[in-house]
Structures are given as structure tokens and as C-alpha cells.
């Protein structure tokens, strides 16, 4: 009996194997713009590539339009299709006829419509004596329609067992990290991760798709070059001449960072920066390496970006969205962003991402510019492209348009002769007079695709072949939004620089970078968009010197205040090192010192870091790698940018024996002993403090039972806010310092500043009032908002 059953089953399997597979493609939004311009063409290309091979096809153009209108639309689009040059005319018209017969319009709105579609597909498969291989649903519809369609597919139009389902999704995939996560969760309720193909059409651009294969095929030559030791900078650029007219309702909500940088340019960045997997054909491995690259991205600050907006934009929004004359948009149409990666390969290498509408030319590229430390004695007339070490050395993945007019891979001849797959890339012929990046084309080994293909055709083929590495997974998507969202939040009220558009932009949008900051090269000529109030420029003010609680007070606008404090710290450090051979600096946590750390990291090349010991004023009882940890702040904003000997760094021992701030572990005592052993007389050269809105300083809070007096140098304390447990230097220890600087910034501190100016020595109520160095100096550093309100 069993044998008979097995035989029947086996026979069934054998038959199934022999049956030809059938693939149904359902294009949702088949009458829309994207479908008309690219998707039908891409599907036709798929048919041209696959016809007569292993699978049969049917193409269902679906939309909400009436059947009559839909049919007419599709008939027109199909009629306009043409074949690439390498397909003979007879063959082309035969295949085009077949494709037209296999394509049909259908109205798809309700659950019943989806059930009917599923039945029709099954019937067609049966009639044709076929086996269903899979269904591709291409969502070319606005995201608000996703959930309903997804529900209908999931409940009523999944293929039967043994056949795959692939759903293809188009951006926008959310607006920020939270909305992207919500959308992902919603879709995750209907589809499995491997069923979803999120399109970033830049991954289908031939030059972009060639980045990993190029790195792989030229491993030997690139191994020694692809790192911070040789790369001076990387530019990832997408310039456009078009503006946002006609799409302002979309654009107004997104702006250039969400529209282009968060997706297209970030994808290119990861392909350039990621570690190269051993096997680049393994989608899983590529995607994992990409994720790791995301993890190495250093968080962006407001100062990492410059924004612009073409002048006509606000007027276009007013017109298209019936806004009042007084409306001015803050949406950026241009952005330049400086990105850094914190890993051994790329530390210190600037990655510049830039895109804009209404610029002087349309061009896209990823350009890796190598350092050049050669000096050539002979006149440059004698320099030979493939020998001179003085010519620029660069590799460019030229995405398209621009002077060259086609995708290309360019490698400076003085680097190496690259290897590219000859069946798909050919050497470009000479183009006398053509210059790229300031050099004649002849300076490069230059390759272009044998057959130019548009991105959608490439991606549709990858969907059909299940090549997931050309698509954005949920994890990658969220990693990208996680990277961009803080910057977007920080820039939400930033007034973009206005630019006239096109060639008239001149040098208005040029920008420069240094350290972690990027700024326009030219001063703002004139404020054309009304900003939030006519704030005076910091440079209009002098640093003010006064007294506060009978000690010197320095007040200024934040930038100048930080600069002054950093200068004072450096001067103190230099003096201490000269006199005692070392400088012991104790630093507080919180957000106020962050710009100070950045200033010290990027502007103070003369700082005697090699002789500086860094101590913590206080710490939260969390592991040192926790983002809440003060040490982690110090690490992110200062330590990783400077060269301090490891043994000079003294984090507070809050995490011992796998537990946090347990009395029995005696972390506070250990820190105190370390201080006593290394700091002469336990007297720090400089202690940097802050002042909380409740009058706390270090982690000494009002009514603290310990740390305000007594013998203990280091104490465990409780904070009124999370994380509750803290470790802190005590007031007596702080007061032994040679110098104490208290940094107070921001309007939120105004009230406490006024209050503390009036109170006497009452550390129990206001711990800050107990800061009074016994024989050292106390200096207050307050910005105008904290001091004057």
C-alpha cells in the first residue's frame, strides 16, 4: 500500500518537474507614471530575455481605472514598446506581438477581485498544462494603498504550495525611523521578509551594480588601496537640473535628504564602504556586510550638513497647494552632508554626499579620490598619464548623464589597469576634447556597458531571478533611517540657503569641510527666507567678562563661549604639562560639553594629549558602551578623534563583575584609590562641571546623603531621573582642584542661574553652591541665554 502511495507521489513529483513553470506578473498601478515610463518597458525586457526558456508568463496590468480606460491605456503603452538594437526587427515584432497577447488589463479593487484573479491564474495554469512557479506583485501605487493591497494579496491571492510570492515595493518607505518601522511592521504582518523586494532604483543603475563586482574582480590591486591610508575622500553625488514643479505635494513632505540621500546615495555609500564579502554572489552575505557598514556610520550633527532651496520653490508650492502669499517653505532642495565611518578601514576619510534640484548639470557619480604624496620635479608637459605619480589618482563609478552621457567606470591610468567582465563592459573609444574631473578622458582606463540598460529593467530581471542583494531589506531600511532621522530632526527648523537655480548658482552652494563640520564656502549674501526671528549673529558680540557668585564669569554666544573655554583648557593643559609633566582633567557628562569635546577634537592640534589624563566627574550606572554612558559620550565626541595613551584614560568603574554600581564591588573606593595614586594630592588640574536646572552638579543632587561633605572622594548617589544610580566625585574632592570651570548653556538654565546667583553656601539644597575650590580658582562659563535669558 505504502509502496503504491509512494510511487504515485513520486510520479506526481516527476510530472511536476517536467511541467513548464508559469510566472504571473501583476503590475499594480499599471496606468501610472512610473509604469508608463519604465515598468512596462522593464517587463517587456524581461520577456525578451526569458521568452522560450524555462518559463511561460502572463502580465496583468491592474489599476482602479475602469476596464475600458485601462485597456485603452495599456494597449497604447504596449504599442509604443521597442526592442534594444541587438534584437533583429522580425524577432522583435514577433516577441512584441506575443507580449501584447500575454498582457491584459484588469480592474483590481476588492477582495473578490483578488480572489477572481487567483482563480483565473490557476485556471490558466491548468489549461496550459503548466505548473505555477510564482507570482510577482509590483506595487507601483502610493504607500497609503499598501496595507489594503497587501491584505488582499495575503488573504486571497497567494499562490499554492510550491510556488513563490514576490511583492515589489517602491519608495517612500516611511518618512523617518518611526514611520518606516510602523510600515515595516504592517507589511511584516502580511509578507515574509524573503517575499518583499523594496526597490531602490539606484541599485539597478549599471555603474552602481558594478561597484561590488569591480571591487571583487580587482581585489588584488585594490587590497592595498581601499582604505584610509590611501583614500583622501569619497564623493557620492547626484546633481539634477530639473526642479520639483508638479510634485511639490510629495516634495514638500520629503525634501532632498529623504528623497535621495537617505536611499540612493546611502546605498551607493554602503557599496563603496562595506567590507567585501568573500562571495559577492551570496545575497545574504552582501546584505549582512552592508548592515555592518551601517553600524560603523558615525552619528550626524547639525553641523554635518548644508541646506539650500532654489528660489522659485516656495512660489511653486504656494501655487500647487493653494497656500497664502505669506507661506515660505523650509524644505531643502539641495543638501551637502559630511559622513564619517568609525572603523579601521575608513576612520578619518570624509564621505561627501550631495544632491540638489535646479543645479547647473545632471550627473551622478561615486568618486574615490586617492591621496597623492608625490612631487614631480619636471614640468607637467612631460607627465605621462600612466606613469606620472603627480597626476590625480581616482576611481569613478559614473552613474550617468553629465559630459560623458552614459554610465562608465573610470580608473586613472596611474593606478592600475582594471579588469571588467568583457561580455558586459567595453573600453570607451577616444573622445578628444572631453574632460572629466579636470582631466582629459585619455587619463583614464574608461569602460562603459556593452548594452545600456535602464535601472528598472535590471531590477525586474533581478526580481525574477530572486536576487535579493539588489533590494533593500527591512533591517537595512531601518538602519538607514536610524542614521538619517536625528539629522532630519535637528534640521527641521533650519532655514535653507536660497539659490537662483542653474548656472546662475555660481559658487553660492560650494561648501567646505573640516573635522566633523561642513559649511558653505561663501558667507550668506542675504537672508531671503524669513527665519525664526532676527537673531543677532554671534560675531556681532564680544566675549563678556563679569563676576558671578564672586568668581570670574565669562559670557558669550555659544560658539564663542565654547571656543574660549577650549582655549582656556588648552592653555591650562600646556602650563600643567610644562610644570608637572602631566595634566589631569576631569570631565562631566551631559549635553553641554559635547560641543566643547568636538571643538577640542577638531581645532586644538597643539593640545598635549599625550600627557593628559582624562577622568570622569560622574557616571551613570550603565555599561560603558551604553549610549547613556558619559564615557560613551566622551568616546564618541572626543576620544576617538585624538591620540591619548590608553593608560591615561580613566573611566569610572561602574560595571564590575557583570553588575552595575553594587556597593560590595567597591567601585567608588577603587576610583578614589586610582585618583590618590596618580593625581598629586588628589588635586585635579582642571575639573569641568555643569549645573542642572535643579542646582545639581556632577551627580550630586539636592538632599544627597553622600558626597556633599566628609572624607569620601568618590561616592555612589541617586538621581531623580533615569538611570537613577550614579557615581560621582564628591564636593570635597572637586574643591581640591586647582581650577574648576562650570559650563552653563541654554535658556532652560536661566531660572536656576538667577536663583543660584542669590543663594549663599547651601549645598544640601543646591549642590552647585558648594563648589568653592579651597585654594584653586573657580570660573563660570555661561552663554548669553543662560546668563541674560
Instruction: Kindly tell me which of 20 and 247 has the beta carbon lying closer to ligand BG6.
Output: 247
Instruction: Kindly tell me which of 260 and 565 has the beta carbon lying closer to ligand BG6.
Output: 260
User: Binding pattern to ligand BG6, positions 364-403, x when CB under 6 A?
Assistant: x---------------------------------------
Active-site entry in 60, 264, 328, 401: 264
Distance CA 58, CA 24 (A): 5
Instruction: Kindly tell me which of 259 and 570 has the beta carbon lying closer to ligand BG6.
Output: 259
Residue showing the smallest CB distance to ligand BG6 in the complex: 259
Instruction: Kindly tell me which of 351 and 365 has the beta carbon lying closer to ligand BG6.
Output: 365
Distance CA 448, CA 433 (A): 18
Q: How far is the CB of 454 from ligand BG6 (least distance, A)?
A: 8
Beta carbons within 8 Å of 743's beta carbon, 6+ residues apart? 561, 565, 588, 592, 593, 596, 688, 689, 690, 781, 782
DSSP assignment of 490-513:
HTTTPPPEEE--GGGGTTTT-EEE
Assigned C-alpha cell, 722: 533615569
Instruction: Name the packing angle between helices 558-580 and 593-603 (round to 10°).
Output: 60
Q: How far is the CB of 239 from ligand BG6 (least distance, A)?
A: 10
Number of other CB atoms surrounding residue 748 within 10 Å: 11
- As beta bridge partners, residue 138 has 27, 168
Q: Which of 240, 252, 443, 618 binds ligand BG6 (CB under 6 A)?
A: 240
Binders in 254-293 for ligand BG6, by CB under 6 A: 259-260
Instruction: Kindly tell me which of 364 and 651 has the beta carbon lying closer to ligand BG6.
Output: 364
Distance CA 37, CA 40 (A): 7
Distance CA 427, CA 413 (A): 13
Q: Which parts of 87-200 fold into alpha helices (H)?
A: 89-102, 111-127, 146-156, 177-188
Beta carbons within 8 Å of 768's beta carbon, 6+ residues apart? 689, 691, 692, 695, 696, 697, 742, 756
Assigned C-alpha cell, 702: 539636592
Instruction: Kindly tell me which of 23 and 203 has the beta carbon lying closer to ligand BG6.
Output: 203
Residue with cell 515660505: 328
Instruction: Kindly tell me which of 211 and 675 has the beta carbon lying closer to ligand BG6.
Output: 211
User: Binding pattern to ligand BG6, positions 346-365, x when CB under 6 A?
Assistant: ------------------x-
* CA 498 from centre of chain: 24
Q: How far is the CB of 261 from ligand BG6 (least distance, A)?
A: 11
DSSP 700: B
Q: How far is the CB of 241 from ligand BG6 (least distance, A)?
A: 10
Q: How far is the CB of 785 from ligand BG6 (least distance, A)?
A: 39
Binders in 656-715 for ligand BG6, by CB under 6 A: none
| N- to C-terminal Cα separation, the chain | 92
- As beta bridge partners, residue 483 has none
Assigned C-alpha cell, 255: 525634501
Q: How far is the CB of 260 from ligand BG6 (least distance, A)?
A: 6
Q: How far is the CB of 333 from ligand BG6 (least distance, A)?
A: 10
Q: How far is the CB of 259 from ligand BG6 (least distance, A)?
A: 5
**Count of residues in the chain:** 789
DSSP assignment of 214-264:
HHHHTHHHHHTTSSTTTEEEEEEEEE-S---TT-HHHHHHHHHIIIIIIII
Instruction: Kindly tell me which of 240 and 570 has the beta carbon lying closer to ligand BG6.
Output: 240
Among residues 333, 308, 173, 183, the alpha carbon closest in space to that of 252 is found at 333
Instruction: Kindly tell me which of 31 and 263 has the beta carbon lying closer to ligand BG6.
Output: 263
Q: How far is the CB of 262 from ligand BG6 (least distance, A)?
A: 11
Instruction: Report how many residues bind ligand BG6 under the rule CB under 6 A.
Output: 4
Q: Does residue 264 carry a catalytic annotation?
A: yes
Assigned C-alpha cell, 423: 561580455
Q: How far is the CB of 172 from ligand BG6 (least distance, A)?
A: 8
Distance CA 624, CA 462 (A): 44
Strand duo 618-620 + 725-729: pairing? antiparallel
Per CB under 6 A, 783 contacts ligand BG6: no
Number of other CB atoms surrounding residue 710 within 10 Å: 11
Residue with cell 582604505: 227
Instruction: Kindly tell me which of 132 and 200 has the beta carbon lying closer to ligand BG6.
Output: 200
Q: How far is the CB of 364 from ligand BG6 (least distance, A)?
A: 6
Number of other CB atoms surrounding residue 168 within 10 Å: 22
Distance CA 1, CA 485 (A): 64
* CA 484 from centre of chain: 5
Instruction: Kindly tell me which of 144 and 605 has the beta carbon lying closer to ligand BG6.
Output: 144
Distance CA 570, CA 587 (A): 14
Distance CA 174, CA 143 (A): 8
Whether the Cβ atoms of residue 213 and residue 419 lie closer than 8 Å to each other: no
| Residue positions annotated with a catalytic role | 264
Q: Which residues bind ligand BG6 (CB under 6 A)?
A: 240, 259-260, 364
Amino acid at each position: 500500500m505504502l509502496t503504491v502511495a509512494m510511487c504515485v507521489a513520486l510520479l506526481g513529483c516527476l510530472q511536476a518537474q517536467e511541467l513548464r513553470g508559469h510566472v504571473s506578473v501583476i503590475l499594480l498601478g499599471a496606468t501610472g507614471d512610473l509604469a508608463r515610463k519604465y515598468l512596462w518597458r522593464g517587463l517587456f525586457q524581461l520577456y525578451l530575455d526569458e521568452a522560450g526558456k524555462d518559463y511561460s508568463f502572463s502580465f496583468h496590468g491592474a489599476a482602479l481605472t475602469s476596464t475600458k480606460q485601462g485597456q485603452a491605456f495599456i494597449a497604447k503603452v504596449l504599442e509604443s514598446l521597442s526592442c534594444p538594437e541587438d534584437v533583429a526587427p522580425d524577432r522583435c515584432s514577433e516577441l512584441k506581438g506575443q507580449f501584447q497577447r500575454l498582457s491584459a488589463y484588469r480592474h483590481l479593487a476588492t477582495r473578490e477581485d483578488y480572489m477572481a484573479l487567483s482563480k483565473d491564474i490557476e485556471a490558466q495554469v491548468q489549461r496550459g498544462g503548466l505548473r505555477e512557479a510564482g507570482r510577482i506583485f509590483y506595487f507601483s501605487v502610493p504607500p497609503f494603498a499598501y496595507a489594503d493591497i497587501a491584505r488582499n494579496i495575503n488573504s486571497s491571492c497567494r499562490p499554492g504550495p510550491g510556488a513563490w510570492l514576490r511583492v515589489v515595493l517602491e519608495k517612500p518607505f516611511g518618512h523617518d525611523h518611526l514611520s518606516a518601522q510602523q510600515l515595516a511592521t504592517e507589511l511584516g504582518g502580511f509578507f515574509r521578509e524573503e517575499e518583499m523586494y523594496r526597490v531602490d532604483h539606484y541599485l539597478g543603475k549599471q555603474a552602481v551594480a558594478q561597484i561590488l563586482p569591480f571591487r571583487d574582480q580587482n581585489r588584488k590591486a585594490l587590497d592595498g588601496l581601499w582604505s584610509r591610508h590611501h583614500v583622501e575622500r569619497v564623493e557620492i553625488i547626484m546633481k539634477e537640473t530639473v526642479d520639483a514643479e508638479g510634485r511639490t505635494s510629495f516634495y514638500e513632505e520629503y525634501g532632498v535628504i529623504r528623497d535621495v540621500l537617505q536611499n540612493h546615495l546611502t546605498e551607493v555609500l554602503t557599496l563603496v564602504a562595506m567590507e567585501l564579502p568573500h562571495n559577492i554572489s551570496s545575497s545574504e552575505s552582501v546584505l549582512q556586510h552592508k548592515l555592518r557598514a551601517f553600524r560603523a556610520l558615525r552619528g550626524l550633527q547639525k553641523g554635518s550638513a548644508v541646506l539650500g532651496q532654489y528660489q522659485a520653490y516656495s512660489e511653486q508650492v504656494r501655487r500647487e497647494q493653494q497656500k497664502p502669499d505669506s507661506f515660505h517653505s523650509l524644505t531643502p532642495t539641495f543638501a551637502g552632508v559630511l559622513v564619517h565611518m568609525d572603523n579601521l578601514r575608513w576612520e578619518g576619510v570624509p564621505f561627501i554626499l550631495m544632491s540638489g534640484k535646479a543645479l547647473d548639470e545632471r550627473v551622478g557619480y561615486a568618486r574615490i579620490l586617492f591621496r597623492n604624496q608625490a612631487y614631480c620635479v619636471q614640468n607637467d608637459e612631460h607627465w605621462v598619464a600612466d606613469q606620472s605619480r603627480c597626476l590625480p589618482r581616482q576611481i569613478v563609478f559614473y552613474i550617468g548623464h553629465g559630459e560623458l552621457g552614459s554610465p562608465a567606470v573610470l580608473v586613472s591610468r596611474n593606478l592600475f589597469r582594471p579588469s571588467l567582465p568583457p561580455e558586459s563592459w567595453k573600453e570607451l573609444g577616444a573622445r578628444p576634447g572631453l574632460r572629466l574631473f579636470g582631466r582629459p578622458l585619455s587619463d583614464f582606463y574608461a569602460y562603459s556597458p556593452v548594452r545600456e540598460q535602464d535601472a528598472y529593467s535590471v531590477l525586474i530581471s533581478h526580481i525574477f531571478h530572486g536576487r535579493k542583494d539588489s533590494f533593500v531589506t527591512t533591517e537595512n531600511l531601518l538602519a538607514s533611517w536610524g542614521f538619517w532621522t536625528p539629522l532630519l530632526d535637528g534640521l527641521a527648523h533650519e532655514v535653507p540657503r536660497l539659490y537662483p537655480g542653474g548656472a546662475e548658482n555660481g559658487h553660492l552652494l560650494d561648501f567646505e569641510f573640516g573635522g566633523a563640520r561642513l559649511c558653505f564656502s561663501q558667507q550668506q549674501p542675504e537672508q531671503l527666507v524669513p527665519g525664526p526671528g532676527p537673531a543677532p549673529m554671534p560675531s556681532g558680540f564680544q566675549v563678556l567678562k563679569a563676576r558671578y557668585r564672586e568668581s570670574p564669569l565669562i559670557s558669550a554666544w555659544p560658539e564663542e563661549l565654547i571656543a574660549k573655554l577650549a582655549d582656556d583648557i588648552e592653555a591650562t593643559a600646556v602650563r600643567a604639562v610644562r610644570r608637572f609633566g602631566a595634566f589631569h582633567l576631569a570631565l562631566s557628562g551631559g549635553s553641554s560639553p559635547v560641543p566643547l569635546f568636538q571643538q577640542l577634537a577638531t581645532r586644538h592640534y597643539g593640545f598635549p594629549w599625550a600627557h593628559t589624563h582624562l577622568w570622569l566627574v560622574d557616571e551613570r550606572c550603565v555599561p560603558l558602551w551604553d549610549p547613556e554612558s558619559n564615557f560613551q559620550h566622551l568616546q564618541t565626541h572626543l576620544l576617538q578623534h585624538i591620540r591619548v595613551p590608553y593608560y591615561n584614560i580613566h573611566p569610572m568603574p561602574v560595571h564590575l563583575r557583570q553588575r552595575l554600581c553594587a556597593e560590595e564591588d567597591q567601585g567608588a573606593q577603587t576610583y578614589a584609590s586610582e585618583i590618590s595614586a596618580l593625581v598629586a594630592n588628589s588635586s585635579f588640574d582642571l575639573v569641568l562641571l555643569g549645573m542642572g536646572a535643579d542646582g545639581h552638579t556632577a551627580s550630586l543632587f539636592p538632599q544627597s546623603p553622600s558626597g556633599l561633605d566628609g572624607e569620601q572622594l568618590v561616592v555612589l548617589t541617586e538621581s531623580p531621573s533615569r538611570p537613577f544610580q550614579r557615581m560621582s566625585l564628591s564636593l570635597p574632592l572637586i574643591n581640591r582642584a586647582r581650577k574648576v570651570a562650570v559650563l552653563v548653556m541654554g535658556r532652560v538654565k536661566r531660572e536656576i542661574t538667577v536663583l543660584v546667583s542669590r543663594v549663599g553656601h547651601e549645598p544640601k539644597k543646591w549642590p552647585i553652591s558648594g563648589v568653592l575650590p579651597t585654594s584653586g580658582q573657580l570660573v563660570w562659563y555661561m552663554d548669553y541665554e543662560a546668563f541674560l535669558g
